[in-house]
Amino acid sequence: MTTRLTVLATGGTIAGIAGNAIAQDYRAGEIGIEDYLERVGGLGLEAELSGRQIANIDSADIGPQVWNSLHRAIVEALQDQECSGVIVTHGTDTLEETAFLLDLTLPSTKPVVVVGAMRPADAVGYDGLRNFANAVRVGCDANAAGRGVLVVMGDRVFSARDVRKVRTRGAEAFRGFPRESIALVTPSTLEWFGAPWNDRDAARFAWSDDLPPVEIVYVHAALEADAVTRQLGEGTRGVVVAGVGEGNMPEDVRTVLAQCAADGIAVVRASRADEGLVDREPEDDANGFVAARALNPQKARILLQLLLAGGETDPAALQRAFDGR
Ligand code: SIN
């Protein structure tokens, strides 16, 4: 039986052009989906591909508007009996945020694979073709369902919860934390490390096209409380602290944020460290703070936005949701 995959394109370096095989500068989001499918048409991939352009932009510009269109298009594709899975092409800079948002809001009954590239399409050593061929290999595998949204980069498969971009150069730019990659993939082989774990046929969170404003406060030596107050505008509903070490911050900043929590603004402590794991500390109860556990600040922000959009503001309930990740 033919496997039919829907490819939803959003831009990024995978669709980027430099105009010169060795140039450093390039423009992300230049190749359209029809052109892209023609380019991969000669690879002999095992799936029948159909494509749709959702956006064609640098992923630094991705936000709620593109997320809404992308989510709607994926839901539509997954409901189509003929469609076995979805591949999303995406810039690598914010790929982890989009993948995690989709992971929290989509059912896990068919594979959804997000893929990008570190080098533009006309560069020597373009990694986009191989990553794309690998993504097709994953999308064709029935065992890819039930593992949540997957990210394919550098011959590895990561779960959306764990994946993070850790390098700005080279094709091996992604890692997983706390779990490393969950499979190794090439265009013709796929080896999973373990069985599917979350065979769910419903999304964990309802989709929201009105995500509430949540700020990330980046902590550094000598961060002043006034700078934090200036950053938090009138409408702020939540704050994620990219804290030093295990979600720590200067005492004056802690005082300001404890007051925010007392005023009903959700405050989540995450870590700015690459492999940050933030547990609850005894003062969190009195301060009304939530610990982000293994989520980095940008992913903690996505989860907090979904929780707030669903009407959840109680710190204990927020903590349970973060513990569940
Ligand atoms: C982007 O994220 O859109 C540009 C960088 C990349 O895709 O690697």
pLDDT tens for each residue of 203-229: 889 999 999 999 999 999 999 999 999
Ligand 1 atom nearest to 13, measured from its CA: 7
How does DSSP assign 39-52, residue by residue? HHGGG--SEEEEEE
Q: Which tokens sit at 130?
A: 């191989």
Q: Residue 196: what pLDDT?
A: 85
Residues 87 and 40 sit within 8 Å (Cβ to Cβ)? no
Report the DSSP beta bridge partners of residue 50: 6
Report which of 37, 195, 48 is spatially closest to residue 121, judged by C-alpha positions. Answer: 37
pLDDT tens for each residue of 51-98: 999 999 999 999 999 999 999 999 999 999 999 999 999 999 999 999
Is pLDDT of 39 > 90? yes
Out of 10, 13, 94, 105, which one is annotated catalytic? 13
Tell me, yes or no, if 313 is annotated catalytic: no
Ligand 1 atom nearest to 62, measured from its CA: 3
Report the DSSP beta bridge partners of residue 52: 8
Share of the chain above pLDDT 90, in %: 94
Confidence of residue 202 (pLDDT cuts 50, 70, 90): confident
Confidence of residue 201 (pLDDT cuts 50, 70, 90): confident
Q: Which tokens sit at 112?
A: 């959804």
Q: State the distance from the centre of ligand 1 to the C-alpha of 26, rounded, in angstroms.
A: 10
Q: Residue 203: what pLDDT?
A: 81
Q: What is the mean pLDDT of residues 184-195?
A: 96
- The rounded distance, in Å, linking the Cα atoms of 40 and 322 is 40
Q: What is the mean pLDDT of residues 228-242?
A: 96
Q: What is the mean pLDDT of the chain?
A: 96
Is pLDDT of 1 > 90? no
> What is this structure's pTM?
0.97
Break the chain down into helix, strand, coil percent, rounded to 5.
30, 25, 45
